[in-house]
Amino acid sequence: MQNKVSESRKKRCLSDNLFSQRMDGVRSVCIGIAIKAGSSYEPARKPGIAHFTEHMVFKGTKSRTAYELKEPIEKSGGTINAFTGKESTIYFARVPDYLARDAINILKSLCFEAEFPESQFHMEKQVVLEEIHSTEDDPVEQAYEGFFQEVWRECPYGKPILGNEKSINGLTREDLFDFYDSKYVCENMVFSLAGNYNPHLIDSLEGFRHGRKNRKEPEIIYSPRSALIIKEKEDLQQIHLLMGIEAPSRTDGDYEALQVLNTVLSGGMSSRLFHEIREKKGLVYAIDTGLVAYPLGGVFYLYSATTGEKIIPLLDELKRQLASLVEIGITEAELAYGKERLKGKLLLSTESTYATMMRNLDTGIAFGQPLSVDEMEKRIDGITAEGIRNALQKYFTSSWVVSMVIPAKSSEMIKKTELHMNGGFFL
């Protein structure tokens, strides 16, 4: 699906790597810097280095101590934080408008002046190891991680973002300096600014405008060897079920169709799966679907959790619902619900400087320049029931990969399921 660049969008795109949007009626500014330094860009034998680097940059820079990086922003009621994904590491600050220039200077210091103090290095390793251990204790995290590692086992996207105990213990300060020096460069960065700022604030980023490096995206290879992954865990009451299939990339014409479908299935208490499986049958407390999309591919997933005695009726109902979708599609009422809910949430997000900053980052990185809200609405309006049926035929008819984390006491019950006997979930 192609879109011409509108005049309003051109005004917001100040250069290849700087997106800016002034917002009336607000007194805050949100600044974000997205760096092509996510886990998919790590050296093969150093999983977790991107996330550990993100932790360590907050420990002090050439011009500021760790306290001086945080205190000026937090004292004003603002927020400064960062997160690492598979594609990017994103640093951001949301502050009262009068503090915007200081926030930019702090973010620049984080992204260009980190020192990785030796006195903090080994202690922060322990913090990251505790973070890894906390995810190992979380059955939901383990179900998701088991799925991603299986379906993307032959490409960088399958690596856990946090790394593992062995890889983190093996990292040196020199490793971090090498990663930081090679990845934290202007050509790998995209800046996004949203809120009530003085136009002269852009001058603060003048030296960092740059054409983005035309680098090859990490390849996504969807290649599961097993359609069923089961992990037993003590002290659980529920079976945690994560099942998914291959899905389109962020810029593929089917992306919006599956976004609407995702909303129809689990967007709110009025959604199909919530209504049919939780409200009518009481089989679950939590049920959710999601679409994860990157430049060269993605996955669509469904998560639910239930107790052992309900797992067979849950699997039967999921199969019935998904088979019906493939055979019949969605109703016109569901199509209207999915589209209106998506557009409504989009419009509500325009009141947030953080949401606006992130939306411009997301669409700007994906399409070269940010999409306006009007353009995003038009893309959603263009989705038809036939388009969704075509996407369902294209993707949902594949074998679903299932990742389960189960209580040890439910092992015998799982063996009785059609899922276990068939070695996977097939419609």
How large is the average pLDDT for residues 79-105?
97
Q: How far apart are CA 357 and CA 90, in angstroms?
A: 11
How large is the average pLDDT for residues 65-88?
98
Distance of CA 319 to the CA centre of its chain: 27
How large is the average pLDDT for residues 151-156?
96
Q: Which residues contact 205 (CB under 8 A, 6 or more apart)?
A: 18, 104, 191, 193
pLDDT classification of 213: cutoffs 50, 70, 90: low
Q: Bridge-partner residues for 299, per DSSP? A: 246, 292
Mean pLDDT of the chain: 92
Q: Bridge-partner residues for 253, per DSSP? A: none
Tell whether 242 and 290 lie within a shared domain. yes
Tell whether 282 and 168 lie within a shared domain. no
pLDDT of residue 419: 85
DSSP element (H, E) containing 147: helix 139-151
pLDDT of residue 16: 72
**Residue 155, Ramachandran bin (φ over 0: left; ψ between -120 and 50: alpha; else beta):** beta
How large is the average pLDDT for residues 158-183?
97
- Of 208, 241, 273, the last residue of a domain is 208
pLDDT of residue 212: 57
pLDDT classification of 214: cutoffs 50, 70, 90: low
The answer to whether the CB of 240 falls within 8 A of the CB of 406 is: yes
- Give the sign of the dihedral formed by CA 216, CA 218, CA 221, CA 222: negative
Tell whether 161 and 264 lie within a shared domain. no
From edge to edge, which strands make up the β-sheet containing 239-247?
Answer: 228-233, 401-407, 239-247, 297-306, 287-294
Q: Bridge-partner residues for 425, per DSSP? A: 400
**In this structure, what DSSP letter does residue 351 have?**
T
The answer to whether the CB of 226 falls within 8 A of the CB of 270 is: no
Tell whether 125 and 261 lie within a shared domain. no
Q: Confirm whether 214 is domain-assigned.
A: no
Question: By percentage, how much of the chain surpasses pLDDT 70?
Answer: 94
Give me the CATH number covering residue 63: 3.30.830.10
pLDDT of residue 210: 62
pLDDT of residue 14: 45
Q: Confirm whether 215 is domain-assigned.
A: no
CA distances in angstroms from 55 to 58, 105, 111, 190, 253, listed in the order given:
6, 19, 12, 20, 37
Q: Bridge-partner residues for 92, per DSSP? A: 32, 81
pLDDT of residue 111: 95
Q: Two tokens at 402?
A: 């299932």
Tell whether 164 and 297 lie within a shared domain. no
Q: Confirm whether 264 is domain-assigned.
A: yes
Q: How many domains does the chain have?
A: 2
Residue pLDDT, tens place only, 257-295: 999 999 999 999 999 999 999 999 999 999 999 999 999
pLDDT of residue 86: 97
CA distances in angstroms from 62 to 73, 112, 174, 194, 236, listed in the order given:
18, 9, 17, 28, 47
How large is the average pLDDT for residues 156-176?
97
Tell whether 202 and 233 lie within a shared domain. no
Question: By percentage, how much of the chain surpasses pLDDT 90?
Answer: 85
Tell whether 120 and 184 lie within a shared domain. yes
Tell whether 252 and 194 lie within a shared domain. no
Residue pLDDT, tens place only, 357-413: 999 999 999 999 999 999 999 999 999 999 999 999 999 999 999 999 999 989 888
**In this structure, what DSSP letter does residue 188 have?**
G
pLDDT classification of 425: cutoffs 50, 70, 90: confident
Q: Which residues contact 371 (CB under 8 A, 6 or more apart)?
A: 3, 9, 363, 379
Angle at the Cα of 359 from the Cα atoms of 355 and 360, rounded to 5 degrees: 120
Q: How far apart are CA 121 and CA 176, in angstroms?
A: 10
Residue pLDDT, tens place only, 223-264: 999 999 999 998 999 999 999 999 999 999 999 999 999 999
Q: Confirm whether 389 is domain-assigned.
A: yes
Tell whether 330 and 187 lie within a shared domain. no
Tell whether 255 and 333 lie within a shared domain. yes
Q: Confirm whether 387 is domain-assigned.
A: yes
The answer to whether the CB of 151 falls within 8 A of the CB of 220 is: no
Amino acid at 37: A
- Of 180, 208, 236, the last residue of a domain is 208
Q: Confirm whether 63 is domain-assigned.
A: yes
Q: Confirm whether 33 is domain-assigned.
A: yes
Q: How far apart are CA 145 and CA 140, in angstroms?
A: 9
Tell whether 377 and 241 lie within a shared domain. yes
Distance of CA 169 to the CA centre of its chain: 26
pLDDT of residue 286: 94
Q: Bridge-partner residues for 405, per DSSP? A: 231, 240
CA distances in angstroms from 395 to 254, 326, 379, listed in the order given:
10, 9, 20
Q: Confirm whether 175 is domain-assigned.
A: yes
**Helix crossing, 255-266 with 332-349: angle to 10°?**
100
Distance of CA 208 to the CA centre of its chain: 26
Q: Which of 4-18, 78-92, 189-203 has the highest mean pLDDT?
A: 78-92
pLDDT classification of 10: cutoffs 50, 70, 90: very low
- Of 148, 176, 208, the last residue of a domain is 208
Tell whether 159 and 240 lie within a shared domain. no
Q: Give the residue numbers spanning the domain of 314.
A: 228-422
